Structure 1
Amino acid sequence: MLHLLKRLHMFARDRRGAIGVIFGLMLIPITEIAGVAIDYSNAARLNSRLKAAADAATLSAVRDIAMGVSTTTAYNKAQDVFKSDLYRTASLQNATISFNTVTQPKLYTTTGTYSAQVATYFAKIIGVPTVNLGGTSSASFKRPTYKNFFIVVDSSESMGLAATTADIAKMQANTPDTCALACHTTEIVGYQSNELYAKALGVTTRLDVVKQTLKNIFSYIQTNSASGFFRFGVYAMREKLTPLNPTRSLSTLSSDYSNLSLVVDNIGLTATMSGLYGMTYLRSSLASVLADIPTSGDGTTAATAENYVFILTDGVNDVSDGDTAYNKASVVVCPGSTHCTGPIDPTWCDAFKTANATVGVVYTTYLDVGIHYPTHVAPFASQIKPKLTSCASTGYFYEGTQGSDISNAMLTLFMQAIGNVRLSN
């Protein structure tokens, strides 16, 4: 008996192999904890997928509703977007989303409330067969306001200036009169057409840049579902100018952007009255555009659209023999007494502002390339930019010299006006 008790006492005091015993006892909970961690890591990954699908669906819903689609139709489409994004995520069970939209003046906010479950592999051993996922996604869409754009393109022969320094040099090197402008158009009998030289040499003129940029803008708008909110009227200085009717309306207000692009293609350099000049009658031109502008509104409907007048010009106004005092108000120099010139008078733009229209100006810098610049432009050249700046509404004046500068100035001006189409998540 004493021997047995001694053995038992020695066994109780023996610590050899304790770590193995303890590890064996702890292995089960350690394994379970690791398994639960894997389950919840998988759930977090799937929750990110679920949220991404909810974000896409909510954005789809709010955009469609803001564009006039019925709530039922928009929500059904958004449900399809949600399901489509989760199509290959079989681990998610009972994935659902519901929507609610709050409307404020010109601002729509849709909230998507989503939920789903994901089965566990290890946590179910401790009585947790699934993990619940869910959350909300919110998207806002500032509905575009209806806007009318009246685009006035200076197509006088000074806009035939080659658009880059390299092309200016090319024109001067390859024309009989070393003219850097595509002046003297094909319509002038008895004069060599520098316009044909420009085309044959592959020279891009400033007018070419303006036209291409307008078409790019139309293409950009056409790809957005908001395109119906923007209408354009395109104006150009008449090909055959008369002082009493100097502006030709090339299109009425339209949102047919494909047709508008064709209209822009038809803008050509002005044929001249005297065989020497393609003139720009800015004052009477702007006055005739004013007559076409409807009453400006808050942009809530097409009938109450906001109005914008965008003038693309080098800012020099011409006056010739036979013009009335109405046009001669701008005269600064008359070197030959038959062809007078001067800078735009910013007060000519005031009528647009009084009518609550926003006036935007892109100034295609008038460069000294010889020809008639010393006599007809140099005396007032320093006044052109300040006067055009005053003509424009605050913050709506831009300038471009080279072709890319002109294009970027135009794009910046237009995006400033239409760039309020934004989605936020």
Structure 2
Amino acid sequence: MIADPLSALSSLAAALRRIWRERRANVMMFTAFALIPLTFATGMGVDYSRAMSLQSKVASVADAASLAAVTQPMMQKPILTACDVARRTFVAQATGLAGLHLDPLIASQFTITITDTYASLPPATLTCPTIGLTGLDVGPIPLSRVARIDFRGTSDNSFAGVLGLATLTIKGSATAKTVNAPFIDIHLALDTSQSMGLAATDADALKLWNATLARNGRGCQFGCHARDPNEKYSMEDIARMPDVNAKLRVDVLRDATTDMIDTAVQSQGTNTSYQFALYRIGKNAGRYAIGVDQYAPLTTDLASVRRQVQSLSLSANDGSVGFGDTDLPGTTNFVLPYIKATSAAYDDGTTQVRARKFFFIVTDGVTDTEGWCTYGHCTSPMNPATCDAYKQKGITVGVVYTTYLPTKADPTNPRNPALRDEYIKLIQPIATQIAPALQACASPGYFFEASDGPGIHAAMQKLFAQATKTPTLTR
């Protein structure tokens, strides 16, 4: 029997209304139950936020403690003193931080690790003891120090404690490093001989050629450094004239050395870690005079050395077409007594008295000797054996070779490959021997060759950078 359709629809509507009333009750019930975990989730969020804030504060304290171990005054103290200062700093600043549970005397919660490097000793790494720091002021002074602090503690919870989670873990680390500028003595021997009067570039060579032709009646760029009695100007006089303004190799040398001294001043800051002495290769008071003199004694007054460098010009010429201008054997013999070296192990750079010792030569590497090769003038490459006495005393020898470039016979014609007769006779026969001889003179890693202004400047900076590195000694 088929039911009345209207009655069926009415029954269906009543059933839907009952279901809707029951669903609204369920929603309210589910919402009530959901409020409980939502409340705890919000509370745990607050706990977590508080823990992260506390972790940041402890990390800042750890930063301060690690920095305390590597301050400049502390770098003059041995490693155990640094341990003690770092721990005291942390305890003083961490004490009283609300909600923090961290015991700096428990190794699993707080550790300080310090690594010191020395000039003549192996590196030392120490996990600092928690108690019993004795003999704090006894021990070697480091050249560099890295202090690392690791912490692990807990932060109190407010809401999560109801659920049995009373704390949250906080942890982190901080690292600080300082490298002491080692005490170094640099003895600079700069070649200002007449061959450093060569033009710095091909463009400068062309300027010199044209200017000397116009003023003295002969175009010159090589072998005419000394003024002829019949000439009004020397080549250097002409190069300096405002309308010529030709840059010579000695100009490049002077500028590069000045910049190196500026770098030294900036890198040592208010300290007086660096001392410089200046020697000039090319003194020529007479035919048999020693070809070098002391231009500035060893001093911490780098500004005075800089002024002396700025005053450098080509050495005087004795009229013998450059005879005796570059006396490299005489230079090595002359400078050595001025360097008060003991040994590489003793001169480790930790104090001014024990400064590391360096002898830097900047030269074109051609030694002038007496003879009748060309106009009573002979040349030879440097004898590297003359540098051995330096190395035996632990003195580092650095060399910047300002490449002796071929000199063109006619700089007005770039396509003409012909070279000057003086270059062909004096330099060409030994050209391939110059760099190897200078490199053999230099200590390993301290030889640089440069052929132009930017290259010479870069070489001088590299030479200084090598000298100021924390040394690694091999035995």
1:1-400 matches, cutoff 5 A? 14-16=22-24, 18-19=26-27, 21-30=29-38, 32-34=40-42, 36-37=44-45, 40=48, 44=52, 47=55, 51=59, 54-55=62-63, 58-59=66-67, 61-65=69-73, 67-68=75-76, 104=124, 105=140, 106=142, 107-111=144-148, 135-176=172-213, 177-180=218-221, 184=225, 190=231, 192-199=233-240, 200=242, 201-225=244-268, 227-242=271-286, 243-274=288-319, 276-277=321-322, 279-297=325-343, 298=345, 299=348, 300-320=350-370, 334-336=373-375, 338-370=376-408, 371=420, 372-400=422-450
Q: After superposition, what is the alpha-carbon deviation per residue over 1:253-308, rounded to whole angstroms, capped at 9, x for unaligned?
A: 21221122112122221111116427101111211111222223332433333321
CA distance in 1, matches of 2:157, 2:374: 91
* Residues 133 and 264 of structure 1, relative CA distance in 2, 3 Å threshold: farther
Between the aligned residues of both structures, percent identity stands at 30
CA contact 1:171–1:181 (8 Å) conserved in 2: no
CA distance in 2, matches of 1:232, 1:204: 26
CA contact 1:184–1:192 (8 Å) conserved in 2: no
- How many residues are matched? 393
- Relative to the length of structure 2, the TM-score reads 0.67
CA distance in 1, matches of 2:149, 2:395: 39
CA contact 2:211–2:219 (8 Å) conserved in 1: yes
Query: Alpha-carbon deviation of 1:203?
Result: 3.4
- The aligned counterpart of 1:4 is none
Query: Alpha-carbon deviation of 1:179?
Result: 3.8
Structure 1: state its 5+ residue gaps: 1-6, 84-90, 322-332
CA contact 2:70–2:177 (8 Å) conserved in 1: yes
CA distance in 1, matches of 2:181, 2:99: 37
Amino acid at match of 1:68: Q
Instruction: Report the 3-state secondary structure (helix = DSSP H, G, I; strand = E; otherwise coil) of the residue aligned with 1:234.
Output: strand
* Residues 230 and 117 of structure 1, relative CA distance in 2, 3 Å threshold: farther
Q: After superposition, what is the alpha-carbon deviation per residue over 1:229-273, rounded to whole angstroms, capped at 9, x for unaligned?
A: 332211112443444422111122212211221121222211111
* Residues 45 and 320 of structure 1, relative CA distance in 2, 3 Å threshold: farther
Query: Alpha-carbon deviation of 1:357?
Result: 1.5
- Relative to the length of structure 1, the TM-score reads 0.74
Q: How large is the RMSD of aligned CA atoms in angstroms?
A: 4.6
CA distance in 2, matches of 1:363, 1:162: 16
- The aligned counterpart of 1:86 is none
Structure 1 or 2, whichever has the larger Rg, is 2
CA contact 2:268–2:274 (8 Å) conserved in 1: no
Structure 2: state its 5+ residue gaps: 1-14, 105-109, 117-123, 125-139, 409-419
Amino acid at match of 2:264: I
Query: Alpha-carbon deviation of 1:399?
Result: 0.4
